Structure 1
């Protein structure tokens, strides 16, 4: 696989950094550096005010003072770096990984190597995503071209005691700009390769003396960067737009209400799949006239017989009231979020019509409410106390059916296995199975398949709080708690019409001549849609009931005006998750009872319906320093998740199980260096050493690229790099009193790592990005930008080929993109 040499990367990076430093060498003396962990804005006029305020602890604090490992990326940095969505954010925060999978509706967030939740709507993520204080429970609701970003805070490690829902691995908190009482706005138009067009506009100002508004809209379109060799259609395009309106009602200096409403829509042909390894079924596919770009893992090509569908609507409304009364701040946030998505994909990823449909119709309605009160005493003791309510309904209806070529494909595979009659005639499946009463044409017909329906209800309440004790002027002790009560009720109504998958081939094989019996065993991989045992049933009630008390203990010590230290022990919690997929199975114990009661179905195997709760704990020590021209944040931690919910994609469904324990030792270092007023350099390094302490019920790829139960105890989890590095630089040169030139570059590197458990196929991630902006005094800005400038290519995910034993499929990263933009502010 193609990758760039380490020497080339080092030379390139050194050249860029030295060039920025040389350009600034003759400028003024250093001033106060931006807070470490934030890639600070390069506006020299704001340099002296460059103090990063964060709300990670649900109080406004400077980044240096908050005793949490948190990385902050300002809105100015996101704008300068041309970060288009949360997928790009990971180039600035090395401990965060963001991956888009088989549709525009599926994105996975991972912090410190812990994270799950994409693809399967029954699984909430271990990394909680909040936008303006509102929890976004599913990945389809977490992608968007958000306008007027103020900052993004990435909180690393369990955060359950301050956030009401599922924060066992960390938090991504996105804060947008509130409406302003001074009239203003901006407009932006960007054009890039692949005919990428991005338009944004926003306006804000007063309605009355006490009411301000803001209104923003965006459109994001781009041709696809991958080509379907069969149809010529382009995959991985962009076609999305959104609107967002806000009202800020400032009834008095002590009371305000912020109301936000938004709507966005995605309609895209995503996502192109490459053939990593072509299995022995390729000959049968080509005999049917199908095309496949075999053994070409880094290709920008795909082969399908119909376009993917990704139609996603995401909308909601929220209201936040803040009231300051005496020594207390009272906050209430109420929200409704809705997600409607319909996806369909040619999941055999060939131009032969093997899989007719692999669609999913999803409806998610989420209601949340949070109330909290925080004290502002001038003394020994302060507290924060809150309550949280979560109410979510999900209706999920996936469908997987056979295409018109599947029956002939199965016949070709039986011939390929060499079963012959006397005289040399090959035996087709219909001929082979006719003696057992299987009528000709009754199996593998187009339209046969599995039709699933799941009804999921989740109700959760929690109470949380935190108390700070100022033992001395320099030493503060913190105690926090969160009690959560979570209730889930799930029911299925799933039917399989696949005749072939309902046959007991093992039993039938005993009635065949010995030479022919192995033929049936070789066809078992095609029985991937067996009859489904619905629940609730006599032995499975479809309910989970979880209760948990999490807590935090912390000591924070101010060594001097520039240096703070902290030590933390914290626990976290995420409730049980359900496997809403065709691979949901009764547990071995339940299956034995089901068979004893005569309820067993043909080819019904054991597995899991749900994974139990995740329980996190972390030991962490940190040091934060802020000096003239230099700042740093250092965290050393040992973090573990007991019951980590592993979600393995099998090609047609998911295997969901709990790892008894997964742990990680790690070091995080964020630095910011301002040698001169006009230049800011940043570097962030994350070191992770994870392992499965115990995972007896794990799954891994087999040598023939299937998935099989595997004891993963002692192994390193796949996909988690040992080292992740992000470095960047922003240089501002005043060309005149009103005009300035802003140069920005950032580079991300992740060390080589195995992509999937059980596989030696690996990836090494790198991304070099740059932008040059000319800011004119009349409000106009002109920018030239590029992302992944070295055109580095690598696989992000691999999985077994659908109905193609021995085949391995995958997704590759986005190629080089570049363009220019014009922005006007008023």
Structure 2
């Protein structure tokens, strides 16, 4: 029997296994009377980062048990649900403005990267055959598709961003960290909420939740969320606004709690995005090593084309191909809890799906070069987790078994248009003047992945003395991936484009879209482990140090591989070795002034051997880039989270991160555009200076010592809120003024640093002014990016080395008002 069927069978059988809650929210107690340490709406808001509040402590579940966040020897940022609502941080992209160690980049939901400390997934590289290094978990369920990060948070109670490897506590993909999201759960006391927001750009957002008992032992909760906003770019080619927001989500939960020692929660969720998206704007064109007549300015002039604006912050796009970003996901989960002996047995069974229906303008211009680019994809995943946690004397323990199976099926196509010949074929080829050569040239793709993973992992926490705790952990992991890649190419006459043909037209056509077919398999075992020692120097002052040895699963190259001289795929490039991670961290968590001042400090160094990245040449002697392993990267730095609450009326927070992330050794990297496109240097020849038209280009570039892309050396978030008691509309309460700001220094937006793709640093400021009553009514006005900072979320280098640079401008200033009621 194939192992994947065993996982599915175990998932079904486990539904019958009960267990006891390990999370505070699972206890079935009313949220208006929360379990020990868990905030309610009536308590003061938390501070971003440390989670500190005036009343009560902040409970986190980072170590799969409820603990005071200040007692957890892990670098973790805590963001309360009320702060998410107040700041409009309704998805991971906006969450990064509150947590400076988190990086989020997305040109569309599929092409999304979530990194922590600059590592997790290679920036700008999307490949279904490799995995993210940052795991996203919602109520203990692993979300394997990073596209889920683009959806609205739905009825969230708290978010914890864990920094550094977490593989001895979490099921999958946590070599860089984890985002642990906890939603609000069914309650046996009736409660509900309704929140409505309106703003400029026709922004409309509605959130609603209702919870209460159905009987003495059964409670239910239903939550809905809808967000809609006009696009922030105008597409001159179609007369439409693009890059909209259009999200709808629903979540339902049913809790059965027949006794204090046993409960089962069933959860169903479904979300859909259907915006007119996703486009970029023209940023500029830089000189490359291509012959001058094959660079952007000459190619555009030859077809009488001009971009609609040279100022990217005019926010005018020019995209003539269809655009679509329909993104749908959902699933079902069954969590059963049973108090067994001295501990708790927990079973979590889940199925999730992801449907992706895209269409892009892959040439990024208003010319019919690529007229269709779409790779619809369907993913199903099944996960099963069995966890036993408890305490025996001075030892806390967590032991976990995790099984995972994923199927991805992608069937897409790319088609070229009448402008392709003149744009893509060398002018020295007489076929470049024949628009029929490439018009209708179509690649039809079939891409498949079957991904199986199983792990046994756990941690012990031994309180050697009242002050000293030793915490070893381990993880034994098995991964197997089976992949298929097939691209069939036909021309406008319906002929197959093959490597066997010597017809000049077909030879030219396969130079643009090449057919390829291969199947491959990857499998591997690995052992991870970590050790943490923590010491309570004084009450409310905890010091800790950690070493972790971790691995990120190997993978399969499902974007195609280089071909040999006769057109056969080089199958040696089809698999990618695992990453090997050595992580060192030390930190201090402290509270002073009667716990009004919280100061957390962490210093870290993470070294990754066999870093998964796009390489050129490597061991294969080919010029085409392909997914493989760079020798080594390193990320190191210092993080500070400060929260000061001098009175019940005022709170202040400052979070900062210094991150020094670089390629330690990467000799086979693709070159940046200014060194690409020329004649390849022969042995003994020196490459031309960057940006020399018709110059000599290196085979590849040694970028050892360069900064990793996508991460700023310095990043900060900061904010404050002041409240004053008043009576308004006959109700007692408080008026409040809040501010939240963030700053990120410059960063590289290309895997190999380029003079054309350095994104300048920027600062964002958000304000809110409102009134909240003692009875749960809240009304406030808000402004986000209040000073209308012009900045790029990322810059992109389209393929072809023409020098074209396009970008994704960040949101302009937005403003509006929110009314919320909780009862």
> Is 1:78 matched up with 2:84?
yes
Alignment match, 1:579: 557
- Aligned-pair CA distance for 1:294: 5.8
Deviation string 1:456-479 (CA, Å, 9 cap, x unpaired) is 001110000111222111111111
Note closer, same or farther for the CA distance 1:111–1:283 as it changes in structure 2 (3 Å cut).
same
Q: How does 1:779-790 map to 2 (within 5 A)?
A: 779-790=776-787
Alignment match, 1:5: none
Alignment match, 1:693: 664
Deviation string 1:10-29 (CA, Å, 9 cap, x unpaired) is xxxxxxxxxxxxxxxxxxxx
Indicate which of 394, 406, 415 corresponds to 2:408. Answer: 394
Alignment match, 1:547: 525
- Structure 1 distance, partners of 2:46, 2:588, is 16
> Is 1:464 matched up with 2:457?
yes
TM-score, normalised by the number of residues in structure 2: 0.84
Equivalent position SS for 2:376: strand
Alignment match, 1:11: none
Alignment match, 2:650: 679
- Aligned-pair CA distance for 1:322: 1.5
Q: How does 1:749-760 map to 2 (within 5 A)?
A: 749-756=743-750, 757-760=752-755
- Structure 1 distance, partners of 2:703, 2:572, is 17
- Aligned-pair CA distance for 1:617: 1.6
Indicate which of 90, 95, 102 corresponds to 2:96. Answer: 90
- Structure 1 distance, partners of 2:764, 2:404, is 38
Most deviating of 137-146 and 780-789: 137-146
Do 1:40 and 1:76's aligned partners in 2 also have CA atoms closer than 8 Å? no
Note closer, same or farther for the CA distance 1:563–1:701 as it changes in structure 2 (3 Å cut).
same
Deviation string 1:381-429 (CA, Å, 9 cap, x unpaired) is 2321110000000001231110233235457x72xxxx6xxxxxxx842
**Gapped regions of structure 1 (runs ≥ 5):** 1-30, 42-46, 420-426, 432-439, 510-519, 537-541
Do 1:625 and 1:633's aligned partners in 2 also have CA atoms closer than 8 Å? yes
- Structure 1 distance, partners of 2:167, 2:232, is 40
Note closer, same or farther for the CA distance 1:790–1:72 as it changes in structure 2 (3 Å cut).
same
Note closer, same or farther for the CA distance 1:610–1:784 as it changes in structure 2 (3 Å cut).
farther
- Structure 2 distance, partners of 1:389, 1:367, is 8
Alignment match, 1:180: 187
Do 1:122 and 1:577's aligned partners in 2 also have CA atoms closer than 8 Å? yes
- Structure 2 distance, partners of 1:430, 1:216, is 57
Indicate which of 582, 599, 614 corresponds to 1:617. Answer: 582
Q: How does 1:88-167 map to 2 (within 5 A)?
A: 88-101=94-107, 103-116=108-121, 119-167=126-174
Do 1:449 and 1:529's aligned partners in 2 also have CA atoms closer than 8 Å? no
Alignment match, 2:708: 717
- Structure 2 distance, partners of 1:345, 1:622, is 45
Do 1:450 and 1:529's aligned partners in 2 also have CA atoms closer than 8 Å? no
- Structure 2 distance, partners of 1:286, 1:442, is 20
Equivalent position SS for 2:551: strand
Indicate which of 431, 438, 444 corresponds to 1:429. Answer: 431
Alignment match, 1:254: 261
- Structure 1 distance, partners of 2:105, 2:296, is 29
Equivalent position SS for 2:188: coil
> Is 1:821 matched up with 2:818?
yes
Equivalent position SS for 2:746: strand
Alignment match, 2:573: 608
Do 1:704 and 1:805's aligned partners in 2 also have CA atoms closer than 8 Å? no
Do 1:347 and 1:802's aligned partners in 2 also have CA atoms closer than 8 Å? no
Deviation string 1:106-151 (CA, Å, 9 cap, x unpaired) is 3211101102176332222111111111111112233322232111
- Structure 2 distance, partners of 1:668, 1:315, is 35
> Is 1:806 matched up with 2:799?
no
Most deviating of 793-802 and 705-714: 705-714
- Aligned-pair CA distance for 1:705: 6.2
Alignment match, 2:14: none
Note closer, same or farther for the CA distance 1:233–1:287 as it changes in structure 2 (3 Å cut).
farther
Alignment match, 2:605: 638
Deviation string 1:359-394 (CA, Å, 9 cap, x unpaired) is 0110000000101101222x2323211100000000
Deviation string 1:614-662 (CA, Å, 9 cap, x unpaired) is 121211111000122201111111111212222589xxx9742322111
> Is 1:202 matched up with 2:179?
no
Note closer, same or farther for the CA distance 1:268–1:710 as it changes in structure 2 (3 Å cut).
same
Do 2:749 and 2:796's aligned partners in 1 also have CA atoms closer than 8 Å? no
Q: How does 1:471-550 map to 2 (within 5 A)?
A: 471-497=464-490, 529-536=512-519, 542-550=520-528
Indicate which of 374, 384, 398 corresponds to 1:384. Answer: 398
- Structure 2 distance, partners of 1:607, 1:769, is 51
Alignment match, 2:384: 369
TM-score, normalised by the number of residues in structure 1: 0.84
Note closer, same or farther for the CA distance 1:396–1:508 as it changes in structure 2 (3 Å cut).
closer
Equivalent position SS for 1:735: strand
Note closer, same or farther for the CA distance 1:711–1:654 as it changes in structure 2 (3 Å cut).
closer
- Structure 1 distance, partners of 2:161, 2:185, is 20
Note closer, same or farther for the CA distance 1:34–1:301 as it changes in structure 2 (3 Å cut).
closer
Deviation string 1:59-100 (CA, Å, 9 cap, x unpaired) is 111111001011110111111212121110011101001111
Deviation string 1:687-706 (CA, Å, 9 cap, x unpaired) is 11122111223223131666
Q: How does 1:768-783 map to 2 (within 5 A)?
A: 768-783=765-780
Computed over aligned residues only, the root mean square deviation of the Cα atoms, in angstroms, reads 2.9
How many pairs does the alignment contain?
732
Do 1:274 and 1:299's aligned partners in 2 also have CA atoms closer than 8 Å? no
- Aligned-pair CA distance for 1:174: 0.6
Note closer, same or farther for the CA distance 1:213–1:32 as it changes in structure 2 (3 Å cut).
closer
Equivalent position SS for 1:376: strand
- Structure 2 distance, partners of 1:620, 1:263, is 38
Note closer, same or farther for the CA distance 1:647–1:824 as it changes in structure 2 (3 Å cut).
farther
> Is 1:745 matched up with 2:752?
no
Do 1:331 and 1:373's aligned partners in 2 also have CA atoms closer than 8 Å? yes
- Aligned-pair CA distance for 1:249: 1.0
- Aligned-pair CA distance for 1:278: 3.1
Do 1:568 and 1:620's aligned partners in 2 also have CA atoms closer than 8 Å? yes
Most deviating of 31-40 and 207-216: 31-40
Equivalent position SS for 1:663: strand
Note closer, same or farther for the CA distance 1:478–1:443 as it changes in structure 2 (3 Å cut).
same
- Structure 2 distance, partners of 1:330, 1:354, is 58
Indicate which of 39, 42, 66 corresponds to 2:72. Answer: 66
Do 2:328 and 2:355's aligned partners in 1 also have CA atoms closer than 8 Å? yes
Q: How does 1:42-53 map to 2 (within 5 A)?
A: 47-49=54-56, 51-53=57-59
Deviation string 1:790-823 (CA, Å, 9 cap, x unpaired) is 2222223233334572222222222221111111
Deviation string 1:198-223 (CA, Å, 9 cap, x unpaired) is 11111110000111101111111111
Do 2:733 and 2:772's aligned partners in 1 also have CA atoms closer than 8 Å? yes
Most deviating of 478-487 and 628-637: 628-637
Indicate which of 227, 230, 234 corresponds to 2:234. Answer: 227
